[in-house]
Amino acid sequence: MTKESNHMPEHTILLVDDEAAIRDMLSIALEAAGYNILSAENAQQAHAIIVDQHPDLVLLDWMMPGTTGLELLRRLKREELTEKVPVIMLTAKAEEGSKISGLDAGADDYIAKPFSPRELISRVKAVLRRVGREALKDPIIVGEMVFDPLGHRVSIANNSIDLGPTEYRLLQFFLTHQERVFSRDQILDYVWGGNVYLDERTVDVHIRRLRKAISVAGHENYVQTVRGAGYRFSTQIQHA
Amino acid sequence: MTKESNHMPEHTILLVDDEAAIRDMLSIALEAAGYNILSAENAQQAHAIIVDQHPDLVLLDWMMPGTTGLELLRRLKREELTEKVPVIMLTAKAEEGSKISGLDAGADDYIAKPFSPRELISRVKAVLRRVGREALKDPIIVGEMVFDPLGHRVSIANNSIDLGPTEYRLLQFFLTHQERVFSRDQILDYVWGGNVYLDERTVDVHIRRLRKAISVAGHENYVQTVRGAGYRFSTQIQHA
DNA sequence: AGCCTTCTGTCATATTTGTGTCATGTAACC
DNA sequence: GGTTACATGACACAAATATGACAGAAGGCT
């Protein structure tokens, strides 16, 4: 089994606060909870890190010298590249009113200082969980192929592809686990569900069906055979 | 044909308050303004009614014995089926602070008691307008088909189509949720109301009736079967 | 109320589509 | 060249959906 499945979050959180003391405090609490921490002391730095490292969540102090947290938030939400990054605002008790404008601007939650580590962690978890669920609903795009979970439809170059239920799940599995080899066993477990006993060769057949279905403009080349190991979905096309 | 009075709003509002006196008062004021009223005296009842009848708006008292209004609100916003129902909270003057948490939890507006009927009505109108329930009154056009909620009429290429009540609601549901798959279960929930127990296959039959009714100039192709998943209304015609 | 019409949900049956396995062909590896 | 792993097409059976018919329910009309 893979290491990320021992349910350790392994999420990366960016802390943005001008006071080192607060950053440290948050950092300790969050690391103890199993998160990776990045930090920035101003909005510029923060923006650079976000663009660069794609943290899974940003904890953003409301009040900061220079560009305020709110401005950074607005900027993040304005740009397509960063609009999906979830943000939790940290606000001082006094500025209750600001909660609303923060939420308006697109923050996912806010926490009023002072707060307990427990509260912090639980909010962080809640936001990550919610965002994770929503991400499940976002279309996945690879090459000219669009995989739309909500519509339960796959299209390539705007033409609807038709897939059987199993091939659909297989493709979904691959798309959410790209660039990695899986044995037939693993694929059976993930795609068919844990307690089926089927011939491993069955996987081959469904792989073939999937390849056939998406063989438009070379998209079948994303599904790659790894001799002796299994299959892999990769956007790095193998040389012929 | 339904009774469909003059051209009154015809919106349905659910009142949730534990005190009968208040329910009556609100009820009289709102009925005078042309709304249909449902009422519930506790959160459980309210939830059942919401799932079942899909009111256009919920007026929810903050303070109630048992599950409080806030808890109900959270629950509504948590479940996909009900997250879109607009909610106005009724709060006592004293609990000003609660406004904020109410809005946070997803309330659309709040009104502090005591309030005037005029204020109530205008807030209700405002929320309904904003939430776009008004938009629900605009005709929806797909291909040559015109779905006119006000006239409760559907026509294709200027010929009136006749649909049974269930097929009408089914079509309305599809038109307002295009390009998305729904399981038979979900369809039963949305179109029939939450607390019915019916055979899932019943959906198939109504789908067929709907298809048959709109099968003019190929409009039945908009209603698509997604094997293993349910049905979808899509303007991207399937297959070649 | 009673009659008539329309609507509804369920069933039994037909049809379509998906499934896993096998036999055989083909390519990779030593 | 022999061996192994994978690809492919065919097929029988399984599963899901479509369809037509029907009896009871609901609603309109006089």
C-alpha R_g of chain A: 22
Q: Are strands B87-92 and B57-61 parallel, antiparallel or unpaired?
A: parallel
Residues A150-179, mean pLDDT to the nearest whole number: 93
Residues B131-147, mean pLDDT to the nearest whole number: 82
User: Are A162 and B238 a contacting pair at CB < 8 A?
Assistant: yes
Q: What is the DSSP letter of B109?
A: E
Residue B116 touches partner A, C-beta closer than 8 Å: no
Residues A40-44, mean pLDDT to the nearest whole number: 88
What pLDDT does residue B110 have? 80
What pLDDT does residue B100 have? 52
- Spatial distance from the CA of B56 to the C1' of D30 (Å): 37
- Spatial distance from the CA of B164 to the C1' of C6 (Å): 9
Burial class (CB in 10 A: 0-12, 13-18, 19+), B160: exposed
How much of chain B exceeds pLDDT 90, in percent?
33
User: Which domain, by its residues, includes B102?
Assistant: 12-135
Q: CA A73, CA A75: separation in Å to the nearest integer?
A: 5
Average pLDDT of chain A, as a whole number:
84
Nearest to B51 by CA among B76, B71, B15: B76
Q: What is the pLDDT of residues B140-199, one digit of tens each?
A: 999 999 999 888 889 999 888 889 999 999 999 999 999 999 999 999 988 998 778 899
- Nearest nt (C1') to B203 (CA)? C9
The verdict on A117 and A219 lying in the same domain is no
Closest approach of chain B CAs to the CA of A208, in angstroms?
A: 20
The verdict on A131 and A146 lying in the same domain is no
What pLDDT does residue A94 have? 54
φ, ψ of residue A18 to 5 degrees: the values are -80, -20
Q: Report long-range pairs for A128-135 (Cβ below 8 Å, ≥24 apart).
A: A128/A9, A128/A11, A128/A56, A128/A57, A128/A86, A130/A86, A131/A56, A131/A57, A131/A84, A131/A86, A135/A84
Q: What is the DSSP letter of B157?
A: T
User: How confident is residue A42, by pLDDT bands cut at 50, 70 and 90?
Assistant: confident
Q: Are A81 and A51 in contact (CB under 8 A)?
A: yes
Q: Position of tokens 């102090």? A: A61
The verdict on A87 and A161 lying in the same domain is no
Residue of A nearest to B225 (CA): A152
Residue B131 touches partner A, C-beta closer than 8 Å: no
Q: Are B48 and B71 in contact (CB under 8 A)?
A: no
The verdict on A62 and A128 lying in the same domain is yes
Residue count (chain B): 240
The verdict on B50 and B155 lying in the same domain is no
> In the beta sheet, which residues pair with residue B141?
B146
What pLDDT does residue B173 have? 94
What pLDDT does residue A182 have? 94
Q: What is the largest CA-CA distance in chain B?
A: 65
What pLDDT does residue A183 have? 93
Nearest to B227 among A96, A151, A165 (CB): A165
- Nearest nt (C1') to A220 (CA)? D7
- Spatial distance from the CA of A164 to the C1' of C17 (Å): 9
Average pLDDT of chain B, as a whole number:
83
Residue of A nearest to B78 (CA): A130
Beta strands in A170-222 (DSSP E): 181-182
Q: How many CB pairs under 8 A join A and B?
A: 37
Question: Does residue B123 have a pLDDT over 70?
Answer: yes
Residues A223-237, mean pLDDT to the nearest whole number: 91
Q: Which residues make Cβ contacts (< 8 Å) with residue A216, sequence separation at least 6?
A: A144, A156, A157, A159, A161
CATH at A119: 3.40.50.2300
In this structure, is residue A169 part of a structural domain?
A: yes
Enumerate the residues of chain B whose CB falls inside 8 A of the CB of residue A103. Answer: 104
Residue A100 touches partner B, C-beta closer than 8 Å: yes
Last residue within a domain, chosen from B96, B117, B135: B135
In this structure, is residue A222 part of a structural domain?
A: yes
- pLDDT winner (highest mean) among A71-85, A205-219, B99-113: A205-219
Q: For testing the chain A interface, which of B98, B181, B231, B238 should be mutated: the one with the most A CBs within 10 Å?
A: B181
Q: Are B79 and B106 in contact (CB under 8 A)?
A: no
Type of residue numbered A204: D
Nearest to B174 by CA among B220, B238, B127: B220
What pLDDT does residue B171 have? 95
In this structure, is residue A240 part of a structural domain?
A: no
Enumerate the residues of chain B whose CB falls inside 8 A of the CB of residue A152. Answer: 181, 226, 229-230, 232
The verdict on B104 and B172 lying in the same domain is no
User: Are B100 and A103 a contacting pair at CB < 8 A?
Assistant: no
**Between B133 and B39, residue with greater pLDDT:** B39
Question: Does residue A163 have a pLDDT over 90?
Answer: yes
What pLDDT does residue B115 have? 79
What pLDDT does residue B77 have? 79
In this structure, is residue A202 part of a structural domain?
A: yes
**Between A194 and A148, residue with greater pLDDT:** A148
In this structure, is residue A93 part of a structural domain?
A: yes
The verdict on B90 and B63 lying in the same domain is yes
DSSP three-state, residue B233: strand
Total number of domains in chain B: 2
Q: For testing the chain A interface, which of B227, B231, B238 should be mutated: the one with the most A CBs within 10 Å?
A: B227
Residues B213-222, mean pLDDT to the nearest whole number: 91
Q: What is the pLDDT of residues B40-97, one digit of tens each?
A: 988 888 888 888 888 889 998 877 666 677 778 878 877 777 888 899 988 775 555 5
Residues A71-91, mean pLDDT to the nearest whole number: 85
Residue A150 touches partner B, C-beta closer than 8 Å: yes
**Between A109 and A207, residue with greater pLDDT:** A207
Last residue within a domain, chosen from A96, A112, A135: A135
User: How confident is residue B135, by pLDDT bands cut at 50, 70 and 90?
Assistant: low
The verdict on A92 and A13 lying in the same domain is yes
Interface of A with B in 208-227 (CB under 8 A): none
φ, ψ of residue B133 to 5 degrees: the values are -60, -25
The verdict on B106 and B94 lying in the same domain is yes
Q: For testing the chain B interface, which of A129, A153, A167 should be mutated: the one with the most B CBs within 10 Å?
A: A153
The verdict on B83 and B183 lying in the same domain is no
User: Are B227 and A96 a contacting pair at CB < 8 A?
Assistant: no
**Between B114 and B60, residue with greater pLDDT:** B60
In this structure, is residue A107 part of a structural domain?
A: yes
Q: Which residues make Cβ contacts (< 8 Å) with residue A224, sequence separation at least 6?
A: A231, A232, A233, A234, A238
The two structure tokens encoding residue B146: 């015109």
The verdict on B17 and B87 lying in the same domain is yes
In this structure, is residue A18 part of a structural domain?
A: yes
Q: What is the pLDDT of residues A115-134, one digit of tens each?
A: 888 888 888 988 888 888 77
Residue B80 touches partner A, C-beta closer than 8 Å: no
Residue of A nearest to B233 (CA): A151
Residue A34 touches partner B, C-beta closer than 8 Å: no
What pLDDT does residue B118 have? 84
Q: Are B210 and B170 in contact (CB under 8 A)?
A: yes
Output b/e per residue, A205-240; b: 16+ Cβ within 10 A.
ebbeebbebbeeeebbbbbbeeeeebbbbbeeeeee
CATH at B160: 1.10.10.10
Question: Does residue A12 have a pLDDT over 90?
Answer: yes
Residues B99-111, mean pLDDT to the nearest whole number: 67
DSSP H helix total and E strand total for chain A: 8, 12
Last residue within a domain, chosen from A135, A161, A191: A135
In this structure, is residue A44 part of a structural domain?
A: yes
DSSP three-state, residue A164: coil
Q: CA A83, CA B94: separation in Å to the nearest integer?
A: 38
Report residue B177 CA to chain centroid gap. Answer: 12
Q: Which residues make Cβ contacts (< 8 Å) with residue B138, sequence separation at least 6?
A: B149
Q: CA B35, CA B27: separation in Å to the nearest integer?
A: 9
Q: CA B91, CA B37: separation in Å to the nearest integer?
A: 20
The verdict on B152 and B47 lying in the same domain is no
